[in-house]
């Protein structure tokens, strides 16, 4: 029987099987503090890491640690290289996050182009808000627009299916063009990054945050986009150079942005807060009851598989 440290209060339903076979150390409140983590981890075989930075110091403190099961798809908070050096298995939950994140990205596209959030705010707060046809709050249809998806993993593909159902044209860019079957079935078209940025009416980001994707979208890339184009980011904040994005929005060099993630979370730049052509959400890509529960199931399954068979599922 393994001893597993769970850093955050997670849906109980997803952890039941893990509870039955192993000893779980869970927080009494919402989450363990870093100090509490550092105390408990020394005696644990596994770590279920949710909203937790796992650095060298923490890994070294976990001298008995054999596996880090990340609660989420993105593992940029975990020092993967050092974990590998120490012989630790690292897993994530790539399937459970897919549909909820794609739903949010598509919802942000709707809200941004049809100015839903902006109109809601103005109706509530502006007594002089004017109704009528062809007013200043007129928006754009999704129908017939070109959506450029950067990163065609599970979430990118789920978004593509939604866009194609809305009769949008889909371009995608990925490190490798390995989606021939998906292209044939869906009609999505592979593009170089520059071609995608030049031709897309909406650009949606779905890449992990790595050294190669840090500031993947900076001033140079923004300059390629149409002045009428919109940027959607539900990936990681630092995939976009936030300062460059703010400048391009302020100067009207792109039409708008919808952001669920930010470069220095939880800080959101004041400049973005004041822009009506920007929709902001507080990193809620997977924040549905269904998705959070399924993530717990998937993380638990990774741990169960490892301790029963000595192999990890969803290896990073």
Architecture of domain 98-280: 3-Layer(aba) Sandwich (3.40)
Q: Give the pLDDT confidence score for residue 180 in this predicted structure.
A: 77
For the segment 202-226, the average pLDDT, to the nearest whole number, is 97
d(CA 80, CA 92): 12
pLDDT for 185 beyond 90: no
Q: For 230-255, how does the pLDDT look when each residue is reduced to its tens digit (9 = 90+)?
A: 999 999 999 999 999 999 999 999 99
Which of 115, 162, 173, 236 is flagged as catalytic?
A: 236
pLDDT for 174 beyond 80: yes
Which of 110, 283, 287, 305 is flagged as catalytic?
A: 283
Which of 265, 276, 290, 308 is flagged as catalytic?
A: 265
For the segment 11-15, the average pLDDT, to the nearest whole number, is 95
Fold of 3-96+289-309: Rossmann fold (3.40.50)
| Contact criterion met (CB below 8 Å) for 23 and 65 | no
Full DSSP string of 132-172: STT-TT----STTPEEEEE--SHHHHHHHHHHHHTT-EEEE
Q: For 85-116, how does the pLDDT look when each residue is reduced to its tens digit (9 = 90+)?
A: 999 999 999 999 999 999 999 999 999 999 99
Question: What contacts 212, CB < 8 A, 6 or more positions away?
Answer: none
Neighbours of 94 (CB within 10 A): 16
Mean pLDDT for all residues in the chain: 95
* CATH 3.40.50.720 domain span(s) along the chain: 3-96+289-309, 98-280
Q: For 36-46, how does the pLDDT look when each residue is reduced to its tens digit (9 = 90+)?
A: 999 999 999 99
Confidence of residue 31 (pLDDT cuts 50, 70, 90): very high
Q: Is 114 among the catalytic positions?
A: no
Q: Which of 292-296, 301-305, 310-314 has the lowest mean pLDDT?
A: 310-314
Report the candidate in 75, 51, 54 with the shortest Cα–Cα distance to residue 210. Answer: 75
Q: Is 265 among the catalytic positions?
A: yes
pLDDT for 312 beyond 90: no
Q: Give the pLDDT confidence score for residue 136 in this predicted structure.
A: 79
For the segment 275-287, the average pLDDT, to the nearest whole number, is 97
Q: What is the pTM of this model?
A: 0.93
Q: Give the pLDDT confidence score for residue 37 in this predicted structure.
A: 98
Q: Is 309 among the catalytic positions?
A: no
């Amino acid at each position: 029987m393994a001893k597993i440290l769970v850093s955050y209060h997670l849906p109980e339903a997803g952890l039941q099987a893990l509870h039955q076979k192993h000893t779980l150390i869970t927080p009494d409140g919402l989450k363990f503090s870093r100090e509490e983590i550092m105390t408990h981890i020394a005696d644990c075989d596994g770590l279920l890491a949710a909203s937790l930075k796992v650095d060298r110091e923490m890994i070294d403190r976990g001298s008995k640690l054999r596996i880090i099961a990340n609660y989420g798809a993105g593992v940029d908070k975990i020092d993967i290289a050092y974990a590998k050096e120490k012989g630790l298995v690292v897993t994530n939950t790539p399937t459970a996050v897919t549909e909820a994140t794609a739903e949010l990205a598509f919802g942000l596209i709707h809200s941004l182009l049809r100015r839903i959030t902006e109109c809601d705010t103005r109706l509530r707060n502006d007594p002089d808000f004017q109704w009528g046809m062809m007013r200043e709050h007129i928006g754009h249809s999704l129908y017939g627009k070109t959506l450029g998806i950067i990163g065609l993993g599970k979430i990118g593909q789920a978004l593509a299916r939604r866009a194609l159902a809305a009769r949008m044209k889909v371009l995608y860019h990925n490190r490798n063009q390995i989606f021939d079957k998906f292209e044939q079935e869906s009609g999505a078209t592979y593009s170089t990054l520059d071609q995608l940025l030049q031709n897309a009416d909406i650009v949606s980001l779905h890449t992990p945050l790595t050294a190669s994707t840090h500031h993947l979208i900076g001033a140079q890339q923004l300059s390629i986009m149409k002045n009428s184009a919109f940027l959607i980011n539900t990936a990681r904040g630092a995939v976009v150079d936030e300062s460059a994005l703010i400048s391009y929005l302020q100067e009207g060099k792109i039409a708008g942005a919808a952001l669920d993630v930010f470069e220095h979370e939880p800080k959101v730049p004041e400049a973005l807060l004041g822009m009506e052509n920007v929709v902001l959400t507080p990193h809620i890509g997977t924040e549905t009851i269904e998705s959070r529960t399924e993530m717990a199931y998937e993380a638990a399954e990774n741990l169960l598989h490892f301790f029963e068979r000595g192999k990890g599922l969803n290896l990073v």
